[in-house]
Structure 1
Amino acid sequence: MQAKAFICISLGLLATVQAASDLATDVRRCSGNKPFPLEVRVGGCITPPCNVVKGSTQLFEIDFAVDKYITSMKAMVKATTLGIITVPYELPPEVAAVCPNLMYGAYCPLYPTEDVTYLFSFPIGEYPEIGVKVEIYLVDQDGDTSTCFVCDIKVVKGNGSS
Protein backbone atom coordinates (compact mmCIF):
# COMPACT_ATOMS: atom_id res chain seq x y z
CA MET A 1 0.00 0.00 0.00
CA GLN A 2 2.84 2.40 0.83
CA ALA A 3 4.43 1.76 -2.59
CA LYS A 4 1.19 2.75 -4.34
CA ALA A 5 0.95 5.92 -2.26
CA PHE A 6 4.58 6.77 -3.04
CA ILE A 7 3.99 6.25 -6.80
CA CYS A 8 0.86 8.44 -6.73
CA ILE A 9 2.69 11.21 -4.86
CA SER A 10 5.69 10.96 -7.21
CA LEU A 11 3.47 11.15 -10.30
CA GLY A 12 1.62 14.12 -8.80
CA LEU A 13 4.91 15.95 -8.16
CA LEU A 14 6.10 15.15 -11.69
CA ALA A 15 2.87 16.56 -13.14
CA THR A 16 3.25 19.69 -10.99
CA VAL A 17 6.84 20.22 -12.15
CA GLN A 18 5.79 19.74 -15.79
CA ALA A 19 2.87 22.16 -15.39
CA ALA A 20 5.16 24.77 -13.80
CA SER A 21 7.53 24.59 -16.78
CA ASP A 22 4.58 25.16 -19.12
CA LEU A 23 3.25 28.27 -17.36
CA ALA A 24 2.67 31.39 -19.40
CA THR A 25 4.95 34.39 -19.01
CA ASP A 26 3.30 37.63 -17.95
CA VAL A 27 3.75 39.80 -21.06
CA ARG A 28 2.08 43.12 -21.95
CA ARG A 29 0.13 44.44 -24.91
CA CYS A 30 1.78 46.54 -27.59
CA SER A 31 0.51 50.05 -28.18
CA GLY A 32 -1.94 50.79 -30.97
CA ASN A 33 -4.45 47.99 -30.34
CA LYS A 34 -2.36 45.34 -32.12
CA PRO A 35 -3.56 41.71 -31.79
CA PHE A 36 -2.31 40.11 -28.56
CA PRO A 37 -1.06 36.49 -28.48
CA LEU A 38 -3.13 33.78 -26.85
CA GLU A 39 -0.14 32.92 -24.65
CA VAL A 40 3.63 33.40 -24.50
CA ARG A 41 6.08 31.13 -22.70
CA VAL A 42 9.60 32.45 -22.19
CA GLY A 43 11.99 29.66 -21.20
CA GLY A 44 12.74 29.84 -17.49
CA CYS A 45 10.62 32.94 -16.85
CA ILE A 46 7.10 33.50 -15.59
CA THR A 47 7.37 37.02 -14.17
CA PRO A 48 9.49 39.56 -16.09
CA PRO A 49 12.02 40.98 -16.21
CA CYS A 50 13.30 37.71 -17.68
CA ASN A 51 17.01 37.12 -17.21
CA VAL A 52 18.62 36.30 -20.56
CA VAL A 53 22.23 35.23 -20.84
CA LYS A 54 24.33 37.26 -23.23
CA GLY A 55 25.78 35.22 -26.05
CA SER A 56 23.00 32.61 -25.73
CA THR A 57 19.64 31.95 -27.39
CA GLN A 58 16.44 32.57 -25.43
CA LEU A 59 13.45 30.45 -26.44
CA PHE A 60 9.95 31.95 -26.68
CA GLU A 61 6.87 29.92 -27.57
CA ILE A 62 4.23 32.27 -28.97
CA ASP A 63 0.66 30.98 -29.33
CA PHE A 64 -1.46 33.17 -31.58
CA ALA A 65 -4.69 33.08 -33.57
CA VAL A 66 -4.83 33.78 -37.29
CA ASP A 67 -7.62 35.99 -38.61
CA LYS A 68 -6.88 35.84 -42.35
CA TYR A 69 -5.18 33.74 -45.03
CA ILE A 70 -1.41 33.95 -44.49
CA THR A 71 1.22 32.68 -46.91
CA SER A 72 4.31 34.00 -45.11
CA MET A 73 5.26 35.73 -41.87
CA LYS A 74 8.31 37.23 -40.28
CA ALA A 75 9.20 38.11 -36.70
CA MET A 76 10.40 41.60 -35.92
CA VAL A 77 11.81 43.03 -32.70
CA LYS A 78 12.23 46.54 -31.32
CA ALA A 79 14.40 47.05 -28.25
CA THR A 80 14.09 49.98 -25.86
CA THR A 81 16.87 50.74 -23.37
CA LEU A 82 17.06 53.38 -20.70
CA GLY A 83 13.36 53.96 -21.35
CA ILE A 84 14.10 56.30 -24.26
CA ILE A 85 16.24 54.68 -26.94
CA THR A 86 14.25 52.38 -29.28
CA VAL A 87 15.98 50.58 -32.12
CA PRO A 88 15.09 47.70 -34.43
CA TYR A 89 16.79 44.45 -33.39
CA GLU A 90 17.97 42.68 -36.53
CA LEU A 91 17.23 38.96 -36.61
CA PRO A 92 18.96 36.36 -38.76
CA PRO A 93 16.66 35.35 -41.66
CA GLU A 94 16.27 31.77 -40.35
CA VAL A 95 15.04 33.13 -37.00
CA ALA A 96 12.78 35.83 -38.46
CA ALA A 97 11.04 33.32 -40.77
CA VAL A 98 7.94 32.26 -38.84
CA CYS A 99 6.51 29.56 -41.14
CA PRO A 100 9.47 27.11 -40.90
CA ASN A 101 9.49 27.55 -37.10
CA LEU A 102 5.84 26.73 -36.42
CA MET A 103 5.36 23.89 -33.95
CA TYR A 104 3.08 20.87 -33.60
CA GLY A 105 2.83 20.12 -37.31
CA ALA A 106 1.55 23.56 -38.32
CA TYR A 107 2.75 25.04 -41.62
CA CYS A 108 1.97 27.86 -44.03
CA PRO A 109 -0.33 28.76 -45.58
CA LEU A 110 -2.38 29.49 -42.47
CA TYR A 111 -6.14 29.91 -42.58
CA PRO A 112 -8.48 32.17 -40.59
CA THR A 113 -9.37 30.78 -37.13
CA GLU A 114 -6.21 28.64 -36.86
CA ASP A 115 -4.34 28.75 -33.54
CA VAL A 116 -0.62 28.08 -33.97
CA THR A 117 2.60 28.17 -31.96
CA TYR A 118 5.80 29.81 -33.20
CA LEU A 119 9.12 28.81 -31.64
CA PHE A 120 11.12 32.04 -31.55
CA SER A 121 14.83 31.39 -30.89
CA PHE A 122 15.90 34.89 -29.82
CA PRO A 123 19.68 35.37 -30.18
CA ILE A 124 21.05 37.42 -27.28
CA GLY A 125 24.14 39.31 -28.38
CA GLU A 126 27.13 40.33 -26.31
CA TYR A 127 25.38 43.40 -24.91
CA PRO A 128 25.90 45.35 -21.70
CA GLU A 129 24.15 43.93 -18.66
CA ILE A 130 21.09 46.16 -18.63
CA GLY A 131 17.32 45.98 -18.66
CA VAL A 132 15.65 46.09 -22.06
CA LYS A 133 12.01 46.30 -23.11
CA VAL A 134 11.52 44.13 -26.20
CA GLU A 135 8.50 44.41 -28.48
CA ILE A 136 8.09 41.26 -30.53
CA TYR A 137 5.64 41.25 -33.39
CA LEU A 138 4.79 38.87 -36.21
CA VAL A 139 4.03 40.47 -39.57
CA ASP A 140 2.33 38.74 -42.51
CA GLN A 141 2.96 38.99 -46.27
CA ASP A 142 0.81 42.16 -46.46
CA GLY A 143 2.70 43.96 -43.68
CA ASP A 144 -0.17 43.45 -41.21
CA THR A 145 0.66 42.62 -37.60
CA SER A 146 -0.73 39.20 -36.68
CA THR A 147 0.33 39.41 -33.05
CA CYS A 148 2.44 41.64 -30.83
CA PHE A 149 3.60 41.71 -27.22
CA VAL A 150 6.10 43.43 -24.95
CA CYS A 151 8.40 41.63 -22.53
CA ASP A 152 10.98 43.11 -20.17
CA ILE A 153 14.31 41.30 -20.15
CA LYS A 154 17.58 41.77 -18.30
CA VAL A 155 20.81 40.80 -20.02
CA VAL A 156 23.04 38.91 -17.55
CA LYS A 157 26.41 37.18 -17.62
CA GLY A 158 26.37 33.44 -18.01
CA ASN A 159 28.74 30.98 -16.35
CA GLY A 160 32.14 31.49 -17.89
CA SER A 161 31.34 34.92 -19.32
CA SER A 162 33.83 37.64 -18.65
Structure 2
Amino acid sequence: MNARKYIQKNKYSSGRKNYGAFSFVEIMVAIVLISIGLIPLFSLFVSTTSDVSNTIDEVLATTYANELIDSIIAHKFVDIPSSVAYSEVQTLAGSPFFDKIIANLTPCSSEFRRYVEISETATTVQIPANVSPLIAERYNRIKSFKIVKIKIKYDLNGRARELNMATIVTGA
Protein backbone atom coordinates (compact mmCIF):
# COMPACT_ATOMS: atom_id res chain seq x y z
CA MET A 1 0.00 0.00 0.00
CA ASN A 2 2.87 2.32 0.60
CA ALA A 3 3.84 2.12 -3.03
CA ARG A 4 0.65 3.93 -4.02
CA LYS A 5 1.76 7.01 -2.18
CA TYR A 6 4.62 7.49 -4.52
CA ILE A 7 2.64 7.23 -7.77
CA GLN A 8 2.33 10.70 -9.14
CA LYS A 9 -1.21 11.75 -9.94
CA ASN A 10 -2.13 13.98 -12.83
CA LYS A 11 -2.57 17.38 -11.29
CA TYR A 12 -5.41 18.22 -13.77
CA SER A 13 -7.42 15.15 -12.91
CA SER A 14 -9.42 14.55 -9.79
CA GLY A 15 -8.52 10.94 -9.93
CA ARG A 16 -11.94 9.75 -11.02
CA LYS A 17 -13.30 9.23 -14.53
CA ASN A 18 -14.89 12.30 -16.10
CA TYR A 19 -18.30 11.44 -17.54
CA GLY A 20 -19.47 15.11 -17.93
CA ALA A 21 -18.21 15.60 -21.51
CA PHE A 22 -20.18 14.92 -24.71
CA SER A 23 -19.07 12.27 -27.12
CA PHE A 24 -18.57 12.96 -30.81
CA VAL A 25 -21.75 11.04 -31.70
CA GLU A 26 -23.83 13.09 -29.26
CA ILE A 27 -22.47 16.31 -30.71
CA MET A 28 -23.24 15.19 -34.28
CA VAL A 29 -26.81 14.17 -33.35
CA ALA A 30 -27.34 17.56 -31.70
CA ILE A 31 -26.06 19.38 -34.80
CA VAL A 32 -28.37 17.36 -37.08
CA LEU A 33 -31.39 18.04 -34.86
CA ILE A 34 -30.65 21.76 -34.69
CA SER A 35 -30.19 21.85 -38.49
CA ILE A 36 -33.54 20.14 -39.04
CA GLY A 37 -35.16 22.74 -36.78
CA LEU A 38 -33.53 25.66 -38.61
CA ILE A 39 -34.61 24.60 -42.13
CA PRO A 40 -38.24 25.79 -41.66
CA LEU A 41 -36.97 29.00 -40.10
CA PHE A 42 -34.76 29.79 -43.11
CA SER A 43 -37.61 28.82 -45.44
CA LEU A 44 -39.82 31.32 -43.59
CA PHE A 45 -37.20 34.06 -44.06
CA VAL A 46 -36.99 33.37 -47.80
CA SER A 47 -40.77 33.39 -48.32
CA THR A 48 -41.16 36.55 -46.23
CA THR A 49 -38.51 38.32 -48.29
CA SER A 50 -40.28 37.28 -51.49
CA ASP A 51 -43.66 38.44 -50.16
CA VAL A 52 -42.21 41.81 -49.15
CA SER A 53 -40.72 42.23 -52.64
CA ASN A 54 -44.11 41.42 -54.24
CA THR A 55 -45.86 43.89 -51.96
CA ILE A 56 -43.39 46.64 -52.85
CA ASP A 57 -44.06 46.07 -56.57
CA GLU A 58 -47.82 46.13 -56.02
CA VAL A 59 -47.58 49.36 -54.02
CA LEU A 60 -45.44 50.91 -56.78
CA ALA A 61 -47.99 49.88 -59.43
CA THR A 62 -50.83 51.37 -57.36
CA THR A 63 -48.87 54.58 -56.86
CA TYR A 64 -48.15 54.90 -60.59
CA ALA A 65 -51.84 54.35 -61.41
CA ASN A 66 -53.06 56.83 -58.78
CA GLU A 67 -50.60 59.45 -59.96
CA LEU A 68 -51.85 59.16 -63.56
CA ILE A 69 -55.52 59.27 -62.53
CA ASP A 70 -54.89 62.30 -60.30
CA SER A 71 -53.03 64.06 -63.12
CA ILE A 72 -55.95 63.52 -65.50
CA ILE A 73 -58.81 64.44 -63.16
CA ALA A 74 -56.99 67.58 -62.00
CA HIS A 75 -58.00 69.14 -65.34
CA LYS A 76 -61.38 70.64 -66.11
CA PHE A 77 -63.97 68.24 -67.50
CA VAL A 78 -64.04 69.99 -70.89
CA ASP A 79 -60.23 69.82 -71.18
CA ILE A 80 -60.08 66.03 -70.76
CA PRO A 81 -60.25 64.34 -74.17
CA SER A 82 -63.57 62.62 -74.89
CA SER A 83 -61.97 59.59 -76.45
CA VAL A 84 -58.50 58.10 -76.07
CA ALA A 85 -58.01 54.59 -77.39
CA TYR A 86 -56.25 52.11 -75.11
CA SER A 87 -52.57 52.94 -75.46
CA GLU A 88 -49.35 53.29 -73.54
CA VAL A 89 -49.02 56.75 -72.01
CA GLN A 90 -45.58 57.40 -73.52
CA THR A 91 -47.01 56.92 -77.03
CA LEU A 92 -49.43 59.80 -76.41
CA ALA A 93 -46.58 62.32 -76.35
CA GLY A 94 -47.33 65.04 -78.86
CA SER A 95 -50.91 65.45 -77.70
CA PRO A 96 -51.28 68.87 -76.02
CA PHE A 97 -53.26 67.34 -73.14
CA PHE A 98 -50.89 64.44 -72.47
CA ASP A 99 -47.65 66.42 -73.00
CA LYS A 100 -48.29 68.32 -69.76
CA ILE A 101 -49.22 65.14 -67.92
CA ILE A 102 -46.23 63.12 -69.15
CA ALA A 103 -43.86 65.94 -68.22
CA ASN A 104 -45.08 65.88 -64.60
CA LEU A 105 -45.33 62.11 -64.05
CA THR A 106 -42.78 60.31 -61.93
CA PRO A 107 -40.61 58.16 -64.21
CA CYS A 108 -41.54 54.48 -63.90
CA SER A 109 -39.04 51.74 -63.17
CA SER A 110 -38.07 49.85 -66.31
CA GLU A 111 -40.40 46.90 -65.65
CA PHE A 112 -43.51 49.11 -65.27
CA ARG A 113 -45.62 50.46 -68.16
CA ARG A 114 -48.65 52.77 -67.89
CA TYR A 115 -51.67 52.45 -70.19
CA VAL A 116 -54.71 54.71 -70.41
CA GLU A 117 -58.13 54.66 -72.04
CA ILE A 118 -60.69 57.45 -71.87
CA SER A 119 -64.26 57.29 -73.12
CA GLU A 120 -67.23 59.60 -72.77
CA THR A 121 -70.68 58.25 -72.04
CA ALA A 122 -74.00 60.04 -72.01
CA THR A 123 -76.70 59.27 -69.55
CA THR A 124 -80.38 59.96 -69.56
CA VAL A 125 -81.02 61.74 -66.32
CA GLN A 126 -84.67 62.43 -65.65
CA ILE A 127 -85.04 65.73 -63.85
CA PRO A 128 -87.82 65.41 -61.29
CA ALA A 129 -90.72 67.84 -61.55
CA ASN A 130 -90.78 70.90 -59.31
CA VAL A 131 -87.02 70.88 -58.75
CA SER A 132 -85.19 74.09 -58.01
CA PRO A 133 -83.16 75.55 -60.89
CA LEU A 134 -79.94 74.94 -58.97
CA ILE A 135 -80.57 71.22 -58.72
CA ALA A 136 -81.75 71.09 -62.34
CA GLU A 137 -78.46 72.67 -63.39
CA ARG A 138 -76.53 69.99 -61.46
CA TYR A 139 -78.53 67.28 -63.21
CA ASN A 140 -77.75 68.84 -66.58
CA ARG A 141 -74.02 68.85 -65.83
CA ILE A 142 -73.92 65.12 -65.22
CA LYS A 143 -75.68 64.18 -68.44
CA SER A 144 -72.32 63.02 -69.70
CA PHE A 145 -69.32 61.64 -67.88
CA LYS A 146 -65.90 60.37 -68.82
CA ILE A 147 -64.54 57.00 -67.81
CA VAL A 148 -60.79 56.98 -67.23
CA LYS A 149 -59.27 53.49 -67.19
CA ILE A 150 -55.67 52.96 -66.15
CA LYS A 151 -53.71 49.75 -66.50
CA ILE A 152 -50.22 49.26 -65.10
CA LYS A 153 -48.35 46.28 -66.54
CA TYR A 154 -45.24 45.01 -64.82
CA ASP A 155 -43.02 41.98 -64.52
CA LEU A 156 -42.93 40.26 -61.13
CA ASN A 157 -40.30 37.54 -60.79
CA GLY A 158 -40.62 36.61 -64.45
CA ARG A 159 -44.44 36.63 -64.41
CA ALA A 160 -46.43 39.31 -66.22
CA ARG A 161 -48.75 41.14 -63.83
CA GLU A 162 -51.17 44.00 -64.26
CA LEU A 163 -53.14 46.38 -62.08
CA ASN A 164 -56.39 47.94 -63.31
CA MET A 165 -57.97 51.12 -61.97
CA ALA A 166 -60.80 53.25 -63.23
CA THR A 167 -62.65 56.38 -62.23
CA ILE A 168 -65.55 58.47 -63.48
CA VAL A 169 -65.16 62.19 -64.14
CA THR A 170 -68.21 64.42 -64.35
CA GLY A 171 -68.65 68.07 -65.12
CA ALA A 172 -70.51 68.65 -61.86
TM-score class, shorter-chain normalisation, is under 0.3
Larger proportion of helix: 2
TM-score normalised per structure 2 = 0.25
Who wins on radius of gyration, i.e. which is larger? 2
Larger proportion of strand: 1
Q: RCO greater where, 1 or 2, for CA within 8 Å and sep 6 or more?
A: 1
TM-score normalised per structure 1 = 0.26
